[in-house]
Structure 1
Amino acid sequence: MPAEFDETEDLMAAELALGLLDGEERAVALRRMLAEPAFARDVETWRLHFAQLFDLWPGVEAPEDLIERIDATLGGPGTDRRPSRLPWPLLAIASSALAACLLVVIALRPEPAPVVFTPAPAPIERSGPVLVASLDYEKTPIASFYDPARGALRVAASPAIDADRVAQLWVIGADGVPHSLGLLTRAATALTVPAANRARLAAGAVLAISVEPLGGSPTGLPTGPVVAKGALSSV
């Protein structure tokens, strides 16, 4: 295990990858994904490890008599109660198994391959509730951050595309129609969202990136393939 290993941070990345965080803990983890490339890399590494575990051990439905069999191994149920059929015992068993798998992966996981991240613009000062999204792109999600009070939008990276093409960012709101937010640079991009589009950037709206000709889409709608997308969440 490397000397710089930080168990607390590593577990936070694993918990975020498993969807175990909520409330303020999840908000903190999502902000760290935006601000810390190494942490974002750890989250994606955990996702890949857990995906491999799910492939090795597919889900199996629990037998109907599982509770009775567990009671029998513990000496049987009490004389003044009937065997419980509530779901919480199954949840407890599943949580214990998941914790055991997590410890095994922590002990045995290989070192991730080095990933090169481009520098991001200076952090945007937070002035109130913000929206974040993780856009699915190949094996490396693209993080985005939007401050509604300032109309400031930051996208942490851009898809790898040919030199004669450009990545264009879109928002798909309640009307289901893509609206252009601007073109992305080859590295991180900071945009000021036009007033007409700010109302469309709300929790549940989808950000998408398409590959377009130089100068952007000539039609006002995506003309090339959509290579990344993700829904906005409030934090």
Structure 2
Amino acid sequence: MTDEADIPGDTSAAELALGLLDGEERATALRRVLADPDYARAVEGWRMRFAQLFDLWPEAEAPEGLIDRIDAGIGGPAPISRLRMPWPALAIGSSAVAAALLVFVAVRPPAPAPVPAPVLVAARPGPLLVASMDAKAAPVPAVFDSRGGSLRVASAPETPPARVAQLWVIGRDGVPHALALLGARAQVVNLSAADRARIAAGATLAISIEPLGGSPTGLPTGPVVAKGVLGAV
């Protein structure tokens, strides 16, 4: 597993990989991708890290005109024609695409003057919490949606015969709490109110190998084969 501390570069590398930069900030970051190999590797490292989440979280298209309404509500630029691009395409763009975007940013005309308008702005959604549990074969990503209280987990590591993978959360109390039994496919875990309260930034998710039906003691009895800390996105 690649830890955040092992990825060189500053936070702008992650912001560029997520498509959060715009205007001069994006132009500066793209120039740096072309000029600084370490920074380019940092951007690619973040893209690969975020790409693990694509299979867990289905695409959802925003309502028509949402960004224009948000821009107008905060006094931003008036609605202009926008080019829609799929999220995964942004995350895995090649250096050639980055260079083309750099030219586009450098020559595009300035946006029209702001035109304030009274509109209803959608409330900002709660944060997502993400963990990449380090396993022997491959990391096991997990995403917690604080709005719906659901936890999406990738397929569990391979288990021996007559054994099952069990997911645990370890919160501030330091005690493992069982969340679910995991299978060979990605799944959505619907959590109880008590378990949702334990899912927070800094909490640890872990997977242990247990007898069929899960741990008979309420605590892990087999080896822990994957573990990762939840962080906010």
**Normalising by the residue count of structure 2, what TM-score does the alignment of the two structures yield?**
0.52
- State which of 221, 224, 229 in structure 1 corresponds to 2:222: 224
Structure 1 stretch displaced more, 166-175 or 134-143:
134-143
C-alpha separation between the residues in 1 aligned to 2:56 and 2:37?
42
Identity %: 50
SS of 1:176 mapped into structure 2: coil
**Normalising by the residue count of structure 1, what TM-score does the alignment of the two structures yield?**
0.52
Question: Does the 8 Å contact 1:127/1:147 carry over to 2?
Answer: no
Displacement of 1:156 in angstroms is: 1.4
C-alpha separation between the residues in 2 aligned to 1:21 and 1:192?
35
Could you tell me which residue of structure 1 aligns to residue 7 of structure 2?
18
The runs of 5 or more residues in structure 2 that have no matched partner are 19-35, 45-51, 61-123
SS of 1:25 mapped into structure 2: helix
Q: Deviations over 1:159-179 (max 9, x none)?
A: 011231100000000000000
Which amino acid is 1:171 matched to? V
C-alpha separation between the residues in 2 aligned to 1:225 and 1:190?
23
Displacement of 1:226 in angstroms is: 0.3
Displacement of 1:231 in angstroms is: 0.2
Shift in alpha-carbon separation, 1:24–1:234, aligned structure 2, 3 A: farther
Q: Structure 1 residue runs of 4+, over 4 Å off?
A: 26-29, 96-100, 119-122, 124-127
Bigger-Rg structure (1/2): 1
Shift in alpha-carbon separation, 1:26–1:223, aligned structure 2, 3 A: farther
Displacement of 1:20 in angstroms is: 3.0
Question: Does the 8 Å contact 1:16/1:26 carry over to 2?
Answer: no
SS of 2:195 mapped into structure 1: helix
- State which of 144, 152, 165 in structure 1 corresponds to 2:150: 152
Number of aligned residues: 142
Indicate the RMSD between aligned Cα atoms, in angstroms.
3.6
C-alpha separation between the residues in 2 aligned to 1:147 and 1:24?
24
Which amino acid is 2:9 matched to? L
